[in-house]
Structure 1
Amino acid sequence: MIKSNDSFTDPKNLELVHSGEDYFARLETIIQQAQFQIYIQMYLFEDDTTGTRISTALKEAASRKVKIYMLLDGLGSLSFPSELVKELKNTGINIRFFAPLFSTYTFFIGRRLHCKIVVADAKVALVGGINIAAKYHGSATEEPWLDYAVQLKGEIAKPLQQLCIDIYSKKRRFQNKKIKAVFAIQGDASVRILQNDWLKGKNEICDGYIKSIRQAKKEIIIVGSYFLPGIRIIRALKKASKNKVTIKLILSGKSDLPMTRRATCFLYDKLLKYNIELYEWDKSVLHGKAAVIDGNWSTIGSFNLNNLSSYGSIETNIEINSELFAAMFRTHLYEIIAQCQCITRESLNTKTNIITKCINLISYGITRIIELLVTYTPHKRFYN
């Protein structure tokens, strides 16, 4: 447990961060103000206008002798130019790729570095689901992909930096042992770092969701991009519904993975039978992974409610127990819901027919098979 003189009642020490300029302005400022070390771990880093902006800031920091360690996923950042890698390395930036394709890691293609973490000087950190790419920033004509992060300052940044060090340097402590979840109790807020890496026996995010859903008394609000939960989460939601808990799901009305969205649509009938309220965000691609439960418990990070995050990827979330933070986040999510399309039994019957139902069923089956092939099957073969 971490204790310090910092107070999370100070809004500058624990802040909800939105995709768009809010996130990238903060990221740029963190890089510009760094004095000693920066750790960046990203699934996706694109060489577009937003990527160039961040690369320029990193090169300037490196010129000030700031040590920079950047770890990108070998699949998510597959298009990251080799010329830019050389350019960054020439400025003194340390960069490598996690589980690059056509390597010994190819067999575990489902085990990706899906975290989005930035830590500077073990004092300030950004953790969430936002990648470095223009689509998360948006433009004058296009809304940014809807997503969230948390900015943290103070002692909590130290274990986050150590986590990045362990992953970057392939420390055995990361590879073979569970890193104990870290609590930071400051002011009214209890903040916890949660990890998921099923191959290494880390299931903290998935278990945290299930526990909080099962214990819910009044209300559950979930932002669920690529929403295809496993049987344990479905059962937890069903139980909460039977206990008369109000459940609201904010789902993708527009997705960069159409087949996954179709697979999610296949679940609508079952979810509506559980009296779960469904809302589709269609103003931009929904990429957020977050929840607020009973006006006290919140989680934000990279973890999707699907088997790929549960049993494949390396994920990091921040869990926050704070009525103040939850009230603020809940208010924002209600504003999002007001802009969504509500999916009811009547509207679902109107917009679906036998053909769309068949397409949704096929998409669901194919998606589940892919998840099985890239997660569970390699795990069983690995241990046998």
Structure 2
Amino acid sequence: MNEVWRDGNRVELLINGEGFYPSVYQAIEDARREVLLETFILRDDKVGRGLRQVLIDAARRGVRVDVIADGYGTPDLDASFLGGLLDAGVRLHLFDPQPRRLGMRTNLFRRLHRKHVVVDGAVAFVGGINFCADHLADFGPMAKQDYAVRIEGPGVQDIRRACLEVLRPAPHLESSDMPAADAVHPGGPAGPCRTCLAIRDNLHRRTEIEQHYLRAIARARERLLIANAYFFPGYRLLRALRDAAKRGVTVRLILQGLPDMPLVRLCSKLLYDTLLRDGVEIYEYRDRPLHGKVAVMDRHWATVGSSNLDPLSLSLNLEGNLMIEDEAFASALDDHLERLAADSCRRVTRQYARRGYWWRAPLVFLSFHFLRHFPAIAGQLPAHRQMLHPARIDEEPGQSQVQP
């Protein structure tokens, strides 16, 4: 496991779009040299337009701006949205964009699911929040509950390097057009937090995030809280959670109760009885769709990032999670999740979990084993090179949109 821990960081928890977007926009407004931004989804709504404006302003005052958006998560941006970015000098890259087949997108797997922002090598953001309005409460009942962190200190350089690693193989970028490794100067110590950026890619770091989870679960002695939107882990994580509960650790899972993707919740429910019978506590968050990917162990270790505990995130997507060792940060996140469980969740009982179990048992078996082998199956499909393409405006009438 490629594990590098950095001392001397300041880490701030940002909750939902209300906490995340103003902090990101302010950092970009203060940028003087460089903005690197990765996102799965960028939409032409009030959040996307707010980001667009601060990026344009930064580029016009001479800041180098590179935006990497996933070609599947961000399929269509029209010319009016895109034109101002390109005219100002913003470099917009699409990750692994594949052509449509029969009107359908083909790059369903191996997506750039990370959400990273790095400004001047001095401040960075890591989390699960996309740039779209459904992360704001005024979106309505289906607004997402989600998390990110703002980090200052030596750990920022690891996030910057991760962004450059995605940019470096881009065929449309000459080496002379790449951001220089020494274009920014690392900042000194900024706070008490020890951090480690864990990356999941399809090259050399395929299990890094899962290994961090397994290690934290194995080391837990008192309590473990995990809030995860799309929960369907494999054997090792399930066994680790059950073993922790059996040795007396309080293991609490906060999962979706108001799903944005009902099929995903159904998959999670297939595992409920297996976990509950060994003492794992399960809570379903009912206020809004849970989109978070966070965990806390023994009030001194925590993680915030983009990785779900499901086959896509653990075996196929490009993901990024920040691991944090700091008692104050972990305790604050622990307190927040406990309030969430107490005030906004329904605790799942075995009686509820076993309703209809007689007909669901074969489905549990078949689904679990299919999804366990799904990454290997999907890995045989073609056209999954980790490649970037520049965005352009399609000039055909009625077809103006982002195209690879």
TM-score (norm 2): 0.81
Shift of 1:80: 3.0
Match of 1:176 in 2: none
Shift of 1:27: 1.2
Matches within 5 A, 1:58-207: 58-102=55-99, 109-139=108-138, 141-142=140-141, 144-170=143-169, 188-207=192-211
Shift of 1:155: 2.5
Shift of 1:91: 1.2
Inter-CA distance 27–301: structure 2 relative to 1 (3 Å threshold)? same
8 Å CA contact retained: 2:32, 2:63? yes
| SS of equivalent residue, structure 2 residue 138 | coil
More helix by share: 1
- Of 346, 352, 367, the residue aligned with 2:351 is 346
Inter-CA distance 48–19: structure 2 relative to 1 (3 Å threshold)? same
What letter matches 1:161 in structure 2?
R
| SS of equivalent residue, structure 2 residue 255 | strand
8 Å CA contact retained: 2:35, 2:66? yes
- Distance, in Å, in 1 between the alignment partners of 2:46 and 2:25 is 13
Match of 2:332 in 1: 328
Match of 1:298 in 2: 302
Shift of 1:363: 9.5
Residue 34 in structure 1 maps to residue 31 in structure 2: yes
Q: Which has the higher contact order (CA 8 A, sep 6+)?
A: 2
What letter matches 1:368 in structure 2?
L
Shift of 1:159: 2.5
- Distance, in Å, in 2 between the alignment partners of 1:81 and 1:204 is 37
What letter matches 2:13 in structure 1?
L
Shift of 1:165: 1.8
Q: Would you say how many aligned residue pairs link Structure 1 and Structure 2?
A: 360
- Distance, in Å, in 1 between the alignment partners of 2:365 and 2:274 is 16
Percent identical across equivalent pairs?
29
What letter matches 1:306 in structure 2?
D
Shift of 1:374: 6.0
* Residues 66-108 of structure 1, C-alpha deviations (whole Å, 9 max, x = no match): 11000000111113335533331111100110000229xx987
Inter-CA distance 370–233: structure 2 relative to 1 (3 Å threshold)? closer
Match of 1:177 in 2: none
8 Å CA contact retained: 1:192, 1:318? yes
Shift of 1:238: 1.8
Shift of 1:289: 0.4
What letter matches 1:345 in structure 2?
R
- Distance, in Å, in 2 between the alignment partners of 1:78 and 1:26 is 26
Inter-CA distance 19–359: structure 2 relative to 1 (3 Å threshold)? farther
| SS of equivalent residue, structure 2 residue 308 | coil
Matches within 5 A, 1:204-283: 204-283=208-287
- Distance, in Å, in 2 between the alignment partners of 1:119 and 1:52 is 19
- Distance, in Å, in 2 between the alignment partners of 1:206 and 1:2 is 17
Shift of 1:353: 3.3
Inter-CA distance 3–340: structure 2 relative to 1 (3 Å threshold)? closer
- Distance, in Å, in 1 between the alignment partners of 2:136 and 2:214 is 32
* Residues 313-355 of structure 1, C-alpha deviations (whole Å, 9 max, x = no match): 1111100011111111101111111121111123335xx3369
Inter-CA distance 371–52: structure 2 relative to 1 (3 Å threshold)? farther
8 Å CA contact retained: 1:45, 1:132? yes
Inter-CA distance 201–329: structure 2 relative to 1 (3 Å threshold)? closer
Shift of 1:187: 5.2
Match of 1:18 in 2: 15
8 Å CA contact retained: 1:308, 1:375? no
- Distance, in Å, in 2 between the alignment partners of 1:52 and 1:168 is 24
| SS of equivalent residue, structure 1 residue 131 | coil
8 Å CA contact retained: 1:226, 1:306? yes
- Distance, in Å, in 2 between the alignment partners of 1:155 and 1:265 is 41
- Distance, in Å, in 2 between the alignment partners of 1:2 and 1:207 is 15
| SS of equivalent residue, structure 1 residue 229 | coil
Shift of 1:154: 2.4
What letter matches 2:15 in structure 1?
H
Inter-CA distance 377–334: structure 2 relative to 1 (3 Å threshold)? same
8 Å CA contact retained: 1:62, 1:91? yes
8 Å CA contact retained: 1:17, 1:150? yes
Matches within 5 A, 1:336-375: 336-338=340-342, 339-349=344-354, 352-353=355-356, 357=360, 361=364, 364=367, 368=371, 371-372=374-375, 375=378
Match of 1:316 in 2: 320
| SS of equivalent residue, structure 1 residue 193 | strand
TM-score (norm 1): 0.85
Inter-CA distance 122–373: structure 2 relative to 1 (3 Å threshold)? same
What letter matches 1:85 in structure 2?
L
